Amino acid sequence: MSHPLFERHRATLDAALVAIRERGYWSAYPEMPSPRAYGETAAADGQAAFEAHLNTAFELDQPGTVGRVGRERSPFGFDLGITYPRADVDVLLPAMQAAMPAWRRLGAEGRAGVCLEILARLNRKSFEIAHAVQHTTGQAFMMAFQAGAPHAQERGLEAVAYAYRAMTEQVPSALWEKPQGKQDPLRMEKTYTVMPRGVGLVIGCCTFPTWNGYPGLFASLVTGNAVLLKPHAGAVLPMAITARVCREVLAEQGLDPNLVALAVNEPGSPLASTLALRPEVRIIDFTGSTANGDWLERNATQAVVYTEKAGVNSVVIDSTNDFKGLVRNLAFSLALYSGQMCTAPQNLYIPRDGIDTEDGHKRFDEVAQALAAGVDKLLGDTARAVEVLGAIQNEGVVRRLESAAELGRVVLASRAIEHPQFPAATVRTPVLLALDAARDEAVFTHEHFGPIAFCIATDGTAQSIELCKRVIQQHGAITAAVYAADAAVIEAMREAMLDAGVALSENLTGGVFVNQSAAYSDFHATGANPAANAALTDSAFVANRFRVVQSRRHV
Amino acid sequence: MSHPLFERHRATLDAALVAIRERGYWSAYPEMPSPRAYGETAAADGQAAFEAHLNTAFELDQPGTVGRVGRERSPFGFDLGITYPRADVDVLLPAMQAAMPAWRRLGAEGRAGVCLEILARLNRKSFEIAHAVQHTTGQAFMMAFQAGAPHAQERGLEAVAYAYRAMTEQVPSALWEKPQGKQDPLRMEKTYTVMPRGVGLVIGCCTFPTWNGYPGLFASLVTGNAVLLKPHAGAVLPMAITARVCREVLAEQGLDPNLVALAVNEPGSPLASTLALRPEVRIIDFTGSTANGDWLERNATQAVVYTEKAGVNSVVIDSTNDFKGLVRNLAFSLALYSGQMCTAPQNLYIPRDGIDTEDGHKRFDEVAQALAAGVDKLLGDTARAVEVLGAIQNEGVVRRLESAAELGRVVLASRAIEHPQFPAATVRTPVLLALDAARDEAVFTHEHFGPIAFCIATDGTAQSIELCKRVIQQHGAITAAVYAADAAVIEAMREAMLDAGVALSENLTGGVFVNQSAAYSDFHATGANPAANAALTDSAFVANRFRVVQSRRHV
């Protein structure tokens, strides 16, 4: 008899298992914040639930709580005023370890059922989580809803599907019968048990706390580990709500809620590096800076470490049959969430002699100006602009943006926008700069996180591709794109990006953007260049979160 | 149209794919060195081929060869007199990298076909390889044949099967079609390409050069990487023959033979640590000491590192219904290849009050004496003894054995045996010592590699199990075994060994020995305790040897 929650969610899991193999479009959680999908009162209820968190103590009932901590401020201009339990990890980590044996014994089906129930509950809280994501990351509401709630849930489900497949790749027990010529065969019964590694630590970022956090959370949890969530000090609430939902579902099932716990720090009081070296921590999922990610890879050798770090996302523009579409598409990619996506393009390589289009030849400056005009047009209407841009997450981005004009020739200056609804919000439009491939390499070979992009004049597309490849091999990237009317150029770019180990989008001129990565279909990051040592999600992301331990006996 | 070699070997691969899931008995390569399986002249031909290597220069035609190196000596008492190319890795490694693009483009099927052809050719050379393994490792001929040739080939095929499955877990291309309400759907074609990581380095050991080396070799090769074989200075020939076969098959297929190369050092001139830190090296497979393995895990952070290290293999003896079978079985496990298997038992935990048997109660000393008598009986006939014991691989084992008597109370002394065929061979019988759990923990908590085993008197089985678990959690083990007539004791041991993360054999009294690990059915090592960070072979062993890189475009 299967676990009741496994039975309840089996069809969803089965569909996800098909999706990760076939990689067509599939979705378990509606991405539109519509009453039809989520209920008539869902939007109002979610907003009320979010507002009820403000200026309160968020309770989690974790063991090893010593005082409270928390200092989040919405990028839309107000303090959240929420405090969280401060964890005494010397108490909390042993409690989490103690929770694992019963969880392990539940088996792959039972754990998958519980994880899918958690995801279903999270889905019902999508509006509440969306507001929490909006007011920690600075994403506009629609993106906060989609990326922060249903799309993050899809990534969590995808991780569950990969891990479930990996855990069930061999039979749980087997009869081994070896012929012995005329004698009786040797016969043994063998048992194969999936065993967790220990405590998984999920170190979150301040821009996509759930989308980047759920894969590691669910991959570690479903494989039998306990999971300690260490969100970014600036984006705690979405993961605190997540931890509470996990703990509630676990407790309802008679399981120890300490399988999922939260550890919160305040800005300036690092906690992740301490947690990461604890012997109890055997798995780490990290999203953040290259310096911190590299440090984890080199120092947290007691754990398996999955990192997503900085990169230099790149676009090679050779030619196009749809220049308007190119401009519209790229302008949106540059502006969306103020370029604060790990997938947002930064380096646009354009021949200094210009490009051919359906509308004739365009000089380098014409291309750059067209992109600038495209961004201006997209953001011309303030009400629409703030829904695209969201708000700037932190002061570091503002400072970087304000000094960006020194980096090159300004094609489009950044400007501040007053948010109609949140006048104290920090809203800025992108800056676009013209650089020279030969002269400015020191500028464009690292990530300038935020709404900062470069039109880089090259000697021609051959140099663009070569430079794009070399920069990604050395400095990493999550995304690359190419615009070319010539199939040979596309083919050359494809080969180069395979060598660079980066996902390539070709001639996006419509409703798909290079920033976007679809669960079950797109591998987010590759693990094949310095921007990440893993992909969300593939088999390598899940297979080493558990070990198979066997026993055997004669029968 | 599939690759012809894929078609030729497809049935073998398909059967292996079933075997790794179902985990019953299966075999692709005959384990008996019989004329029926290998041909009437195979034995003589193989011996002649081995003898033709002696006192010659082994040629490989690798780029970057500067002089020659090699100083192997047979544990059976003669110098091999073989020299190998000395590699200039500054030339060799770039040549290996240059070989990878065409290999990658061959695709998963083509590469699997080539790897299976290599394995088939290696199988035909099983007698030659067996002699090479015998006269480098000191294994007696039958073990050298089985473990060194067909069983090693099975482990190689197993790795190919796992890797092939992992590479083909997603479709090579997909149509992604996302509904857009009343508008046309978004439609994209996506391509998923398996990309190698770089050069794989296989660092071999002196006891099982092929059995422990083939999984890493074939897992890295079939996933598109080039592989540099760095055998132990004392056991080069088996891997040199392997490298030659690989290079021959690759060249026949019009592929660059530098996809597989050999790097040889002499004793006292370390090479592995230099190679392991080269930036070209992105995968490392290591078998050897804990110190060297831990060093690799901590320092070779540019690579993914798979290690098999030392451990303290353990047996808990509680009770039995077949004391004679127990004695016969354990005596053989202690004597086989002079305890120089990474799976050989070392610590036998026995209650100081003795154990119940079908023949009444046996005191601790009676159990220990019975084991000693069992070993004596097994090795009483010299001709049979040398076929079980083989020879001692190196002077370190001899020294350890000679000083072992100081470690505890000698129950069975080691003695030298003159080998009838090889009078200069170093042949020693096992030493068996009695220790006390409370007093002698410093002695039995590390590996004493070689024919050295301890009967450890405990307060009772509860302490035996607890001690066994704690020692393995702290110091690692590849194998554990239990003898108990009581199902509750078996169950307690099973739980404890799950926590210890070690494979358990229960009540082996017949023709299966704790030392033995069957491809496709037994996971060799677990990756769940300090003796190894990986298993041979599972999905975690293969999934991170390649990355999936995608491209996408509108259709």
DSSP-assigned letters across all residues of B449-485 = -SSEEEEEEESSHHHHHHHHHHHHHHH--SEEEEE-S
Quick check: A521 and B176 CB within 8 A?
A: yes
Is the separation of the CB atoms in A397 and A463 below 8 Å?
Answer: no
| Choice between A268 and B8, residue whose per-residue pLDDT is larger | B8
What is the model's pLDDT at position B269? 87
On the 0-12 / 13-18 / 19+ scale of CB atoms within 10 A, B184 is exposed
On the 0-12 / 13-18 / 19+ scale of CB atoms within 10 A, B321 is middle
CA separation for the pair B237, B51 (Å, rounded): 12
Determine phi and psi for A156, rounding to 5 degrees.
-65, -45
> What's the mean pLDDT in A469-479?
98
Render pLDDT for A207-261 as a digit per residue (tens, 0 to 9).
999 999 999 999 999 999 999 999 999 999 999 999 999 999 999 999 999 999 9
What is the model's pLDDT at position B1? 65
Quick check: B521 and A169 CB within 8 A?
A: no
Quick check: B552 and A522 CB within 8 A?
A: yes
Best residue of B544, B545, B546, B555 to probe chain A, by most A CBs closer than 10 Å: B544
Chain B residue with minimal CA distance to A183?
B511
What is the number of CB-based contacts under 8 A between chain A and chain B? 192
What is the model's pLDDT at position A1? 65
CA separation for the pair A311, A292 (Å, rounded): 14
Residue A548 above 90 pLDDT? yes
Residue B203: how many other CB atoms lie within 10 Å: 28
CA separation for the pair B460, A480 (Å, rounded): 64
Locus of tokens 């699997």: B112
Best residue of B513, B547, B554, B555 to probe chain A, by most A CBs closer than 10 Å: B547
Q: Give, in order, the Cα–Cα distances in Å from A79 to each of A70, A71, A144, B389, B497.
A: 10, 8, 18, 75, 51
What is the model's pLDDT at position B340? 97
Is the separation of the CB atoms in A99 and A258 below 8 Å?
Answer: yes
Sign of torsion over alpha carbons B38, B40, B42, B43: positive
Is the separation of the CB atoms in B393 and B207 below 8 Å?
Answer: yes
Chain B residue with minimal CA distance to A522?
B550
Average per-residue pLDDT for chain B: 97
Reported as a pLDDT band with limits 50, 70 and 90, residue A32 is: very high
ipTM: 0.97
Q: Do domains A11-309 and A314-506 have the same CATH topology?
A: no
For residue A175, give the H/E element and its range.
Answer: strand A173-180
CATH code of the domain occupying A314-506:
3.40.309.10
- Please choose, from the candidates B253, B261, B249, B280, the residue with its C-alpha nearest in 3D space to the C-alpha of residue B217: B261
Render pLDDT for B419-438 as a digit per residue (tens, 0 to 9).
999 999 999 999 999 999 99
CA separation for the pair A143, A126 (Å, rounded): 12
Length of chain A counted residue by residue = 555
Sequence-distant (≥ 6) Cβ neighbours of residue A553 within 8 angstroms: A188, A189, B490, B505, B506, B507
Chain A nearest-CA distance from B367, in A, is: 22
Chain B nearest-CA distance from A398, in A, is: 33
Quick check: B498 and A539 CB within 8 A?
A: no
Determine if the peptide bond prior to A429 is cis (ω within 30°).
Answer: no
The domain ranges of chain B are 28-279, 314-506
What is the model's pLDDT at position B268? 85
> In sequence order, what are the beta bridge partners of A194?
A548
Best residue of B22, B23, B104 to probe chain A, by most A CBs closer than 10 Å: B23
HSE (side-chain half, CA atoms, 13 Å) at A516: 18
Determine if the peptide bond prior to B537 is cis (ω within 30°).
Answer: yes
Residue B338 — left, alpha, or beta (φ > 0 → left; ψ -120 to 50 → alpha)?
left
Chain B nearest-CA distance from A84, in A, is: 34
What is the model's pLDDT at position B281? 98
Quick check: B548 and A554 CB within 8 A?
A: no
| Token duo for residue B184 | 């046309």
Render pLDDT for B192-245 as a digit per residue (tens, 0 to 9).
999 999 999 999 999 999 999 999 999 999 999 999 999 999 999 999 999 999
**What percent of chain B is predicted at pLDDT more than 90?**
99
CATH topology of domain A11-309: Aldehyde Dehydrogenase; Chain A, domain 1 (3.40.605)
Quick check: B553 and A188 CB within 8 A?
A: no
CA separation for the pair B518, B325 (Å, rounded): 21
What is the model's pLDDT at position B321? 97
A21 contacts on B by Cβ (under 8 Å): 169-171
B509 contacts on A by Cβ (under 8 Å): 554
Best residue of A295, A483, A509, A544 to probe chain B, by most B CBs closer than 10 Å: A544
CATH topology of domain B28-279: Aldehyde Dehydrogenase; Chain A, domain 1 (3.40.605)
What is the model's pLDDT at position A2? 85
Of B169, B193, B526, the CB nearest to A549: B526
Chain B residue with minimal CA distance to A197?
B528
Render pLDDT for B248-278 as a digit per residue (tens, 0 to 9).
999 999 999 999 999 999 888 889 999 999 9
| Token duo for residue A469 | 């490849």
Quick check: B498 and A549 CB within 8 A?
A: yes
